[in-house]
Amino acid sequence: MSPPFQLPDVDCVVVNRDGGDAFFAALTSIRAQAGVDVSIFVVDNASQAAERERLASDFPEVRLVAFPRNLGFAGAANEGVARGRSPFVLLVNNDALLSADYAARLAARLALDDRLAAVQGLVLTSDGGRVDTAGLCWNRRGEAVPLFAGSAPGQVPGEVFEVSGVSATATLYRRSALQSVAPQGEVFDRSFFAYYEDVDLSLRLARAGWRFACDPAALCRHEGSRTGRRMPSRRAVWTALNRWRTLFRNFDMRLLARSLFALLRADLAHVQQLGWRGALLPILVWPRLPVLAWRARQQTALLSDWPRASP
């Protein structure tokens, strides 16, 4: 891709915790980006020393921000975003492989349309045979779900299309948009730790009037949930809690009251998926809902329906 104008520089933030070979493959794909200058920031959440040593040896150009404890994705991503100054910020999971023109395509789209807060490409499964996500959409159970997930890539529109939100798997954000919704400079709410933090960010940006798009010509392959697979029960609790936190922070309470039984059924569906390991999920999550609702009581410009943006 050869845009007819000089593209702004891009800061790329990768959060890592013992990502292994997949992590270094992701960095190799970022290093190979063409058509735009990319500065790479790795925020390390207490990985093994050998991984940090390999990073310093094989990728000396990477700016490492290392912590002795796990800050979670939200807190670590904040640290990486804060270290950069470029007008565009690319967040990439540590198990995602980008096509060589990925960053340049997304940067060109942001440069052409100042209404856009963020653009993502078409994220495929690791074998490239199915869509992992083309953006975020909402179902009636109050769950943010990946758009076109499981579809063949050919079923996705061939041109750029608007979406209701973007996944932080591999998305380019406009820094000024992030700053417009970041209290005290914190782009993601650290209380999320992991999961749904990108959904909450998309909703806050949408409430502020920003829009989102997917460029299906920018391709990414994603292994998916590399860290979450190590602890499925904990992941389920985080996901359930953060979904409710997102709902209370961004949606009108009247919508949530009308949808209450459907919202609760989403949690029960997760219990069924986990089997015996999911038995404690309602016990651990539901008693905390009044506190989450109370903490979100001062939010304004809340949404009265589930977001919709169809390709």
Parse the chain into domains and list their residue ranges. Answer: 10-227, 231-295
For 10-227, CATH number out of 4.10.410.60, 3.90.550.10, 3.50.50.60, 2.40.30.10 equals 3.90.550.10
For residue 298, pLDDT beyond 90: no
- Could you tell me which of 241, 250, 229, 253 has the C-alpha nearest to residue 285? 241
Percentage, residues of the chain above pLDDT 70: 95
> Where residue 194 falls among pLDDT bands split at 50, 70, 90?
confident
Tell me the three-class secondary structure of the chain, residue by residue.
CCCCCCCCCEEEEEEECCCHHHHHHHHHHHHCCCCCCEEEEEEEECCCHHHHHHHHHHCCCCEEEEECCCCHHHHHHHHHHHHCCCCEEEEECCCEEECCCHHHHHHHHHHHCCCEEEEEEEEEECCCCCEEECCEEECCCCCEEECCCCCCHHHCCCCCEEECCCCCCEEEEEHHHHHHCCHHHCCCCHHHCCCCHHHHHHHHHHHCCCEEEEEEEEEEEECCCCCHHHCHHHHHHHHHHHHHHHHHHHECHHHHHHCHHHHHHHHHHHHHHHHHHHCCHHHHHHHHHHHHHHHCCCCCCCECCCCCCCC
Mean pLDDT of 140-165: 96
pLDDT at 310: 62
